[in-house]
Amino acid sequence: MIFLVGFILLSIGSALSQITVSVSPTASHPIPTTLWGQMYEVNAGDGGLYAELLQNRAFQQVAAGTSAALKAWYSVNSALLTVVNETEPVSSALPNALKVTVASDATGPVGFGNTGYFGMKFTAGNTYNASFYYRFPENPDFIGELNASLQTSAGNVLASTSVLVAGNQTSWKQVFVSLTPDITPDATDNVFVVTTDGAAASGLTINFAMFSLFPPTFKNRQNGMRIDIAEVSTLQAMKPSFFRFPGGNNLVCRGQNTASRWVWNTTLGHLVDRPGRSGDWGYINTDGLGLLEYLLWCEDLEMEPIMAVWAGYGLGGQSIAEDDLEPYIQSAIDQALFIYIAAARRAELGHPEPFKLTYVEIGNEVRPSLRIGRYGYRWNLYVTALQVEFPNLHFIATTFPFNPILDPTPTEYDVHVYQSSTWMSENSFYYDGFQRNGTKYFEGEYATTKNDQGVFPSTTRSTFQYSTVEAATADAVFMTGFERNADIVFAASYAPLLQVNASFFRTILHPNLVVFDAGAVYPSVSYYVQQLFGFYRGDEYIPSTLPARNGTVFWSVVRKTSVINRNDNATDVTFQLPFNVSNTATVTVLTGAKTSANTPSNPDLVLPQTSSIFTGSTFDYSAPPFSVNVLVLNID
C-alpha cells in the first residue's frame, strides 16, 4: 500500500517554529475519483488545442467585401482577393467564399497564402493533410493546375503537390492533398500557399471555400487535437478525471445577440455544415471543435464530461423571456439524449455507443448584479423538464450557494473563485464551515490571480501575467481544503486552462495553466501543482492535527495522494504516523523564489525534482522555502 503525506507551509512574516503533525490511523472519508479535472474555455481552441492550422479557414462570421474578412490571407504575385457572398454557396452554413482574380498580364505563380493563427510549425517527416473547395463561376475554357505548398515566410518551398482542374467545374468540388516536408524550419512563421500558373490562367476568376490544413493529431483523430498540448507532457499528464465543457463564457452569448450562443447541434457533422459563431471576447469560433470532438477528447483521456446547457441569458444581461424558453429547454434535452441515450444521429457520426454523462450544469456563473433574480424560474423550468427525461442525472446550479433559494433544491453548486494569494492562503478552510446536508460542490473555476488583496476581474486586473511560485503555492493551500472537504467537494478545476502567448487574451484572462504558441507549450508553475495533485491523487482523506485557521502552516494527509509546501523560510516538520513505515521514501519538490515564473523565454525555471529521504513511523522533514513537497511512503 502507498501512503502519501501532503502538507503546505505558508509564512506570513515571522520565522516558523518546529511543527508536529500527528496522523490518524483511519480515514474519515473517501476522496471522489472526480476531484481533479479540467475546465476549458474556447479562446484556446481554434489555434490551440484544436489542431487546425489555418486561420479564417471558411470566412465564417465575417462581412463580405471588407479587408477584415481577409484576416490571415494574403495575395501572391498580385492576385486580387475578395471575400464575397456567394450566389451558390458551398453550403447554407458557409455563405462566404474567397474570390481570386488573376490579372490579364500575370506570369509566374499567382494565388494566395495563409499565415495561420500566429505562424505554423512544420516538422520534417510529418504529413500535413490539406483540403479546399473550388469552382469556376464563369465557366472558362481552361485546363490547368492548382499547386498547394508549405513554405517558409521567405518563400522557400518545404513541400508541394499539384491537382489538375478544369474551367467547366462550375459547381463546388473538394480537393484533398497531403504534404510532407523534408526539413524542419528553425522558425514557425511559415505559410500555406495555393497558386496557379499566371500566364495560363490570366484574366480568370476562381472561387474557393472551406480550407483546412491539419498536422498529425492526438491519437490520430480526424479533425482532432494538437499533439503537444494534448499529450503526456501537458494535459494528459495532469491525469484529469473530468472535463467541463463547452467552457464558462463560451456557453453564453455576447452583447445583445442571443444567436451567438453555443448551439450544440450546429457543431456536429461535416465541417462545411458548421456556421461557427462570434466568440465572447472578439474572436471567431469555427466550431470545428464541436460537441462530438469534446466527447471524443473525454474518451481519449478517460475523463468524465461535465456538460453545461444554455439557460437563456447572455453576458450583456439580455435573456429569453420565461414564456419563450420551451424550445431552448427542448434543445438541452436533445443534447443530453445525443450524448448518453441511444441516438441515431450519434451513430450516424460514427459513435453508436453512448458516452458517459452524470452532471449537467444549468447556465454559467450567475452573478447577482446581472441576473440572479431571473435564474430561479430558469432553474425550475430546465431542471423540472430534464428530470422527467433523465431521473439519474445530477443538475448543477451556477448561482452562489443558496442565493437565491432555488426550487427544486440543487444537489450540486458550481463555485468560482479568482482571488489574491493572501485570500487563497487565508481561506484553506473555506468549505469546512459548510453544512453537511447532502449538497455537493464543484469548484468549477479557481486561480490565484493577484499578489495583493483583491478580486479578479477588477479595475487593476491581475498582477500575475504568468503564475509564480507565490501564486502556485497559494493555489495549493486552497486545494488542501478540497481534499479535507472531499466529502462535499466532488470536483475542482483550475481556470483558465490554456492561453496563446502574446495575444489579446493575455491582457484579459491570466495567469493561465499552460501557455502556448505555434511551436511549443509552456507549463506554468501552477500547472505542476495541478499535475502533482492529479498524479498523486488520494483515495481517502486521513485526519491529522489540523493547521491553525489563521496560522502560517497548512497541510493535508491522504492515502495514495499528492503533497505541497509554501513558505518564506525552510520549515522543519515532524510526522507521527500510526503505521509501520519503510525506512526510505520518495519526495518530489517544486520550489523556487517567490516571484519565479515559467515563461516562454525561460520555460523550465521551476520544475519538480525527485529524490529519496529516510523515514519511519516518526520522522523529520525540512521543507524548502516556498515549496510543494510530495512524500510517497510505503506502509509495511
For the chain, give the percent of residues with pLDDT over 70: 90
pTM score: 0.93
Q: Answer yes or no: is 615 within a domain.
A: no
Q: Are residues 487 and 429 in the same domain?
A: yes
Window from 109-118, 212-221, 572-581 with minimum mean pLDDT: 572-581
Same domain, 250 and 207: no
- The predicted-structure confidence for 525-557, as pLDDT tens digits, reads as follows 999 999 999 888 888 898 888 877 777 777 788
Residues 123, 249 within the same domain? no
> Does a structural domain hold residue 153?
yes
Q: Quick check: is 154 in a domain?
A: yes
Pairing of strands 96-101, 205-214: antiparallel
Q: Is residue 78 included in any domain, yes or no? A: yes
CATH number of the domain residue 493 falls in: 3.20.20.80
Per-residue pLDDT at 5 exceeds 80: no
Q: What is the mean pLDDT of residues 298-310?
A: 95
Q: Is the pLDDT of residue 37 over 70?
A: yes
Q: What is the mean pLDDT of residues 244-262?
A: 76
pLDDT for the residue 413: 97
Boundary residue ending a domain (191, 214, 237): 214
Indicate whether 428 and 310 sit together in one domain: yes
- Residue 168 in any domain: the answer is yes
Number of structural domains in the chain: 2
Q: What is the pLDDT of residue 462?
A: 55
Domain check: are 203 and 325 in the same one?
no
182 inside domain: yes
Same domain (yes/no): 238, 253: yes
The confidence score (pLDDT) of residue 563 equals 43
Q: Say if residue 180 is in the same domain as residue 320.
A: no
Same domain as 334, residue 223: yes
- Determine the Cα–Cα distance for residues 287 and 293; give it in Å rounded to an integer: 10
Choosing from 484, 517, 541, the residue where a domain stops is 541
Helix axes 469-484, 525-535, angle to 10 degrees: 30
- In this prediction, residues 264-293 reach a mean pLDDT of 91
Same domain, 292 and 439: yes
C-alpha cell recorded at residue 538: 488520494
CATH of the domain at 99: 2.60.120.260
Q: How does DSSP classify residue 479?
A: H
* 366-377: pLDDT as tens digits: 765 555 558 899
163 in the same domain as 269? no
Summarize the confidence of residues 309-323 as an average pLDDT: 84
Q: Does 280 lie in the same domain as 210?
A: no
Is 251 among the domain residues? yes
pLDDT band at residue 10 using 50, 70 and 90 as cut-offs: very low
How many CB atoms are closer than 10 A to CB 202?
14
Residue 585 lies in a domain: no
More confident residue, 315 or 419: 419
Q: Say if residues 10 and 479 touch (Cβ distance below 8 Å).
A: no
Q: Range of 127's domain?
A: 67-214
Out of 162, 181, 214, a domain closes at 214
The pLDDT of residue 263 is 93
519 shares its domain with 437: yes
State residue 374's pLDDT score: 81
Distance CA 605, CA 188 (A): 23
pLDDT digits (tens, 9 = 90+) for 470-506: 999 999 999 999 999 999 999 999 998 988 875 544 4
Helix (H, G, I), strand (E, B) or coil at 289: coil
